[in-house]
Structure 1
Amino acid sequence: MSTKFFISFVAFDVNVIGDLFYITPLSSNRQYIFIKNIKRLISFKISLFITDHSIHLLFFYNW
């Protein structure tokens, strides 16, 4: 693997990762809204998971 290829590959990866996580405060930005919805979905699934397991533990252990 040549040095030029390695440097261009790393630069490409940094550019892609930077573009994926680039968030502007504009509410009309589609990428911002997409990431905001993904965060909302993940937090909803985590809270649903915690609630489900809490209810399961309450009934399983008869507290």
Structure 2
Amino acid sequence: MNKEQVKGSVKEAAGKVQQKIGEVINSPEQQIKGVAKQVEGKAEKAAGDVKETLKK
């Protein structure tokens, strides 16, 4: 596992938490920011996956 995979996973998890908090406090803005962070994390993780595959 490389740095990008780890950072992507952490960012994705943080986005899920932010989205849930937005739901609890009824804040669509926080929900949207959380979803955006999840997408960003998934993309970063995918880039790390590609790099890891190319190493092999």
Instruction: Identify if the C-alpha distance between structure 1 residues 56 and 41 changes in structure 2 by more than 3 Å, giving closer, same or farther.
Output: same
Q: What's the TM-score once normalised by structure 2's chain length?
A: 0.50
* 1:44 is aligned to 2:43: yes
What is the root-mean-square deviation of aligned Cα atoms in Å?
A: 2.6
Choose between structure 1 and 2: higher helix proportion: 2
Greater relative contact order, per chain length (Cα 8 Å cut-off, separation 6+): 2
Q: Percent identity?
A: 8
Q: Which runs of 5+ in 2 are unaligned?
A: 1-17
Query: Please, which runs of 5 or more residues in structure 1 have no aligned partner?
Result: 1-18, 58-63
Provide the TM-score with structure 1 as the length reference. Answer: 0.46
Structure 1 consecutive aligned stretches of length 4 or more whose deviation exceeds 2 Å: none
Q: Distance in 1 between matches of 2:34 and 2:21?
A: 10
1:32 alignment counterpart: 31
Q: 2:5: which partner in 1?
A: none
Distance change >3 Å, CA 54–CA 20, structure 1 → 2: closer
Question: How far apart, in 1, do the equivalents of 2:37 and 2:46 lie?
Answer: 14
Counting matched residue pairs gives 36
